[in-house]
Chain A
Amino acid sequence: MYEPLQQGKILSGIWMTIKLSFYCLILSVVIGIVGAFAQGSKNVIIRSLVQGYIQFFRNTPPYVQLLFFYFALGQFTPTYSPDGWLEIPIISNVGWAIISLSFFAGAFNVEIFRAGIEAVADSTKEAAESLGFSRFQTFRYVVFPLAIRVSLPSLNNNLINLMKTTTQAYGIAVPELLYQSVTIWNDYPSAQYPTMLLVFVVYILLVGVLVMSMNRWERKLRIPGYGH
């Protein structure tokens, strides 16, 4: 465990987990916001597309989604060839992990933001409307800033789950922390328990940092004289 090779594996695993979590977090939140905005559309087709997306990703196992994205959709992605021999798909396994996990968590985020949006009083939206705001301006400057404050605690939960779900990228050989740890204890069975313990500790720290920053954000968004 303390030899440089193993240490390097663990560190690169942690780094990959952080990168994976970071991109998934950002992308899933963007999906959540766009989806929640689209859900308020007057167009029935757009609304049912969003609804279909949510139902699919929320009601199927994320691990199966991951495998499906990588193995099934992965076959249809174009490839490029740097040396004339190798055929490298333009979306790597890391790419697929980010896409699949983001869509998975994004489906929940849409619902989380929707709950927040519905908590914004119609009369407040009406005020914006009667001042001449467009639907997008009302969303961008009035509804969303209020909705995010309502949504933050649930969003917090979902993002914590997402960070932990990144371990499933192990299934398509993304070299994140769990993957690296397994390679270590496959080589050195006696290292299994200590390595597992290490994985736990690393996750407690990583999620801890996430929770702390989310709480800080929540405090920053607090409005004097509102809601408390």
Chain B
Amino acid sequence: MTSKSTEVIVSIKDVHKSFGELEVLKGVSIDVRKGEVICIIGPSGSGKSTLIRCINALNDIQGGSINVCGIDVTDPKLQKLELRKRVGMVFQQYNLFPHKTALENIMMAPTLVLNEDKETVRKRAFALMQKVRLEGKENAYPGELSGGQQQRVAIARSLAMNPDVMLFDEVTAALDPETVKEVLVTIKDLAQEGMTCILVTHEMGFAREVADHIYFTDNGVIVEHGPPKTFFTKAKDPRTKEFLSQIL
């Protein structure tokens, strides 16, 4: 894997998040260095998705702090646009714009949000389609693509903004085992190019293979974390052991 710098690009400190009475995150801290790949695993409802949605301010937090590329996400005067230029996000349900072709989906944000020249963006969009191995599908509408293909367009769409960090929220959870692979290959390519990635995932094999660091969350706290080697073989926490014993 590429060399990692020591520069912390995403810093999450003692984050608390509640939905009404329900406290979903109870003091979570994670540091992500530039170029690192972080996997967050854990049972459903443990707050994994909420956590990464907080990173690009789709959810607000009630306590603690989050800093992304020097931007204080908890600042009430936060310029969300500045944050979102830096952070790309891919969702479980792809969330492509159904009325736009694959290429248009990729081109929209750079032309509208960054006001970039359309022809430059078009070239980049074609290159990105190639990168996610979908050349030839540029003019297909999302409804004409398979789930795995749509997800790869969604990844390309985020990459078109040239983000510094990519967030993946259970991006393979809605896919069948065969198409999961094509999406994971795409993410792996990215990781190897040195893109900082934060993934919420249930793909343990994948986490083991690409992650630099794995976090296990349960009930709103991180109960165990470490590099994949020690994480999978030498987990100390009983809850983590139980979870891993069921899936490995």
Closest A residue to B139 by CB, please name it.
A224
CB distance from A57 to the nearest CB of B (A): 31
Question: Of A7-15, A80-88, A122-130, A211-219, which stretch is located at the interface?
Answer: A122-130
**Cβ-defined contact, A126 with B143, below 8 A:** no
Q: Which of B128-164 contact A (CB under 8 A)?
A: 141-145, 154, 157-158, 161
Task: State whether the Cβ of B95 lies closer than 8 Å to any Cβ in chain A.
Answer: yes
**Cβ-defined contact, A131 with B98, below 8 A:** no
Closest A residue to B87 by CB, please name it.
A130
Whole-angstrom distance between the alpha carbons of A124 and B88 in the complex? 15
Q: A130-B84, A131-B158, A132-B109 are in contact. Are A226 and B99 (CB under 8 A)?
A: yes
**Cβ-defined contact, B91 with A126, below 8 A:** yes
Q: Which of A190-228 contact B (CB under 8 A)?
A: 223-227
Q: A130-B89, A131-B158, A137-B113 are in contact. Are A145 and B99 (CB under 8 A)?
A: yes
**Cβ-defined contact, A223 with B89, below 8 A:** no
- Chain B residues with Cβ below 8 Å from A121 are 95
- Chain B residues with Cβ below 8 Å from A145 are 99
- Chain B residues with Cβ below 8 Å from A149 are 99
Contact of B91 among A127, A137, A226 (CB under 8 A): A127
Contact of B108 among A129, A131, A134, A227 (CB under 8 A): A131
With most chain B CB atoms within 10 A of its CB, the pick from A121, A133, A227 is A133
Interface of A is mostly: helix
**Cβ-defined contact, A132 with B161, below 8 A:** yes
**Cβ-defined contact, A132 with B85, below 8 A:** yes
Q: Which of A128-154 contact B (CB under 8 A)?
A: 128-134, 137, 141-142, 145-146, 149
**Cβ-defined contact, A131 with B143, below 8 A:** no
Q: A124-B95, A124-B97 are in contact. Are A132 and B144 (CB under 8 A)?
A: no
Task: Categorize the interface residue count of chain A.
Answer: 20 to 34
Contact of A223 among B85, B93, B141, B145 (CB under 8 A): B141
CB distance from B34 to the nearest CB of A (A): 21
Task: State whether the Cβ of B112 lies closer than 8 Å to any Cβ in chain A.
Answer: yes
Q: Which of A51-87 contact B (CB under 8 A)?
A: none
Q: Which of B176-215 contact A (CB under 8 A)?
A: none
Task: State whether the Cβ of B58 lies closer than 8 Å to any Cβ in chain A.
Answer: yes
**Cβ-defined contact, B97 with A127, below 8 A:** yes
Whole-angstrom distance between the alpha carbons of A121 and B92 in the complex? 14
Give me 21 A-to-B residue pairs in the complex whose CB atoms sit less than 8 angstroms apart, sorted by A's number.
A123-B93, A124-B97, A127-B89, A129-B80, A130-B87, A130-B88, A130-B89, A131-B108, A131-B158, A131-B161, A132-B161, A133-B109, A133-B112, A141-B97, A141-B112, A146-B98, A149-B99, A224-B143, A225-B142, A225-B145, A226-B142
A residues at B contact (CB < 8 Å): 121, 123-124, 126-134, 137, 141-142, 145-146, 149, 223-227
Known: A127-B95, A133-B112, A226-B142; 9 extra A-B contacts, CB below 8 A, are A123-B91, A129-B84, A131-B157, A142-B97, A146-B97, A224-B144, A226-B98, A226-B99, A227-B98
